Amino acid sequence: MDSLKVAVVEYLRGGRNVSLAESVPSDIMHMVDPYWYKWPPMEPLWFGIIGFIITVLGIMSLTGNFIVMYIFTSSKSLRTPSNMFVVNLAFSDFMMMFTMFPPVVLNGIYGTWIMGPFWCELYGLCGSLFGCVSIWSMTLIAYDRYCVIVKGMSRKPLTISAAVFRLLFVWVTCLAWGLFPLFGWNRYVPEGNMTACGTDYFAKDWWNRSYIIVYTIWVYFTPLLTIMFSYWHILKAVRVHEQAMRDQAKKMNVASLRNSEADKGKSVEIKLAKVALVTISLWFLAWTPYGIINWAGIFESMHLSPLSTICGSIFAKANSVCNPIVYGLSHPKYKQVLREKMPCLACGKDDSHSDVKTVATGEISESAA
């Protein structure tokens, strides 16, 4: 089959420099789907633009996520079971960019994938593994917010061992999904402008197509439904709480009950839930285009161009930049510690004298942060 595909490609080339994949090295040619050979070569300017964008995103992601890991692990007040999910998210985002942006830049210089089949498969594995872990880390964060805000005191407190178990489950299952294409269920191939590798969403047989479908259910739709469930109940709980506060204030003939310590804690929980909601909304915007591209490929429902596929990949990688920025701007406890350890990077007003101070002083349960 591979020799036939190479023969078809050579025929399409006709000895002329007519296709995007014309410069693909012979050792990886058998991995390139014939679909890409009907496209003309991309302008060198596009490789430069893509390389510049991915370099900026890579530097921002590596720096931002390293700072998040440092702040959350070096501060005793932030070393809570719930925050293990945040650290895990930062680690997976860091590793995704660490393993993926240098190859894209290097291959962009040459205008094609020059690193051979092994590194193409390893690149695809890293993208699948770390992307999946990031998505499920956000899901764990959302569900943790649900447990804290909706279940409240009736819930069983999250312990370190329980948090570790959940994270191990995520890593093992995501690694399994990343390894499947290396053992025959789908495969990793060069895609788009030939500077990156991913799953083969142009596979014609349903065995390989089924991987894209089932994997998307696991890594996209299941987390999305879990997040929607969590935040739907969070919003309901917040509305009920606010209405109860207003009713109680009327009975007591006061304007507000916002001065109570319990309500301060509730306010902090709501603020942290908003941080998680913004983070996950950005993830939804980042990963949806790439998901659409994969499904459009297997169902042949859209005319995919090399530029559109690489843009979808860039959008997905950009999510690893958004997470540390969101936490840096919105997470009150993180921002306070950042202000203490790295004053030059702190932004926004000082929350140390607001109701957020209750978190920093430990008046809220460990699961609150």
Task: Indicate which CATH number applies to the domain containing 322.
Answer: 1.20.1070.10
210 with 112, same domain? yes
Distance in angstroms (rounded) separating the CA atoms of residues 34 and 8 = 8
Residue 197 pairs in a beta bridge with 190
5 against 251, higher pLDDT:
251
State the pLDDT confidence band at 259, using cuts at 50, 70 and 90.
Answer: low
Neighbours of 51 (CB within 10 A): 18
292 with 315, same domain? yes
48 with 37, same domain? no
The listed range with the strongest mean pLDDT (58-72, 151-165, 299-313, 334-348) is 58-72
The number of folded domains in the chain is 2
332 with 197, same domain? yes
For residues 73 and 84, the answer to whether their CB atoms sit within 8 Å is no
Q: What residue numbers bound the domain in which 1 lies?
A: 1-41
State the pLDDT confidence band at 254, using cuts at 50, 70 and 90.
Answer: low
103 with 36, same domain? no
- Give residue 234's pLDDT: 82
99 with 124, same domain? yes
Distance in angstroms (rounded) separating the CA atoms of residues 9 and 14 = 9
pTM, entire model: 0.83
- Is pLDDT at 69 greater than 90 in this prediction? yes
Distance in angstroms (rounded) separating the CA atoms of residues 230 and 146 = 5
30 with 178, same domain? no
Least confident of 184-188, 265-269, 361-365: 361-365
- Is pLDDT at 356 greater than 50 in this prediction? no
Helices (H) and strands (E) in the chain, counts: 11, 2
Map tokens 């399409």 to a residue: 12
- Give residue 272's pLDDT: 63
128 against 270, higher pLDDT:
128
139 with 277, same domain? yes
- Is pLDDT at 353 greater than 50 in this prediction? no
Rounded to an integer, the average pLDDT of 169-193 is 95
State the pLDDT confidence band at 364, using cuts at 50, 70 and 90.
Answer: very low
243 with 117, same domain? yes
Task: Evaluate the CA torsion angle 248, 253, 256, 262 in order and state its sign.
Answer: negative
- Is pLDDT at 249 greater than 90 in this prediction? no
16 with 106, same domain? no
Q: What is the DSSP string of 219-280?
A: IIIHHHHHHHHHHHHHHHHHHHHHHHHHHHHHHTT-S--TTSHHHHHHHHHHHHHHHHHHHH
- Give residue 258's pLDDT: 56
Q: What is the DSSP string of 20-85?
A: GGGG--TTTGGGS-GGGGGSPPPPHHHHHHHHHHHHHHHHHHHHHHHHHHHHHHH-GGG--TTHHH
Map tokens 């993926």 to a residue: 100
82 with 35, same domain? no
